[in-house]
Structure 1
Amino acid sequence: MRGFSPLALETARKAANLTRSDLARVAGVGIATVRRWETGESSPQVDALARVAEALKVSIGEVVRIDPDQRFPGDWRVLRGLTQPQLGALAGVSTAVVGSIERAEVALTEANAVRLGQALQISVEELRAAHERARLRPPGAPA
């Protein structure tokens, strides 16, 4: 996950006065999962991270840090705690369309920009800028 900070997660957990075990239990994830995230051994799935952030009473943006002027469409989705299928359902587009737009493999139509922007709670202009950044990313760079 782009921008995920293991240290920020550990700091938020400690600030909430929770052990790894407590956080895992409250958020419905495994203790080993929390440990792997905090040590940087693995990166979270967005839906599990959303549950953890809720348990910690923090925004996902406190543990996933990407400057607004560097965000791709997928980053905005992650910051809202949504999976691709969830975003697609909210926006009324298919999961395949969401993925293709996030990777900038297809053009961002006006209709999709409006639907996705509303679902992500960002302006069409910001979504278009994020899509353009994803389109211009270096070869091999994740979107």
Structure 2
Amino acid sequence: DCDVQMLTPELVLLSGRSGTGKTALAQNLRSTVSTADSLFVSGKFDQRKKSEPYTAFVTAFNSLCEITVSIEKCSTDLRERSSILAIKSALCSNIGSESSLLTDIIPNISLFLGDQQKTSTNDQSASMGYETARNRSNFLLRQFVRAFCG
């Protein structure tokens, strides 16, 4: 055992054929890295949902939103609550009035942000072409990750 303190966010992506132990490895990793100062989420691509991009990320990000809401509501640790408020503030400033577009991708973000910034998704989406909408979605996903990792 060694005492290692990570000061930067880390992302681990596992790939391989079905049945090779990726899920077991992820669960082992969870027990290894889970500490009071870390959040661990995982997602899994579903082979039956090949037409739905980002399924593993959506699963993980929805879980992340649920965890942060739980911490925000239940934690008595002022440092934890302060961190969650900083994430929420960064997220609101990074995505601005486009939270409804991100809610279409990560539905549980509405649990985290509440009704702070509601706009009509249909109005925004209808005015964008496919490529613009895809680029905007990718940008918003990056902003989501930045808010948690920044």
Question: Under a length normalisation based on structure 2, what TM-score does the superposition of the two structures give?
Answer: 0.30
Question: Under a length normalisation based on structure 1, what TM-score does the superposition of the two structures give?
Answer: 0.31
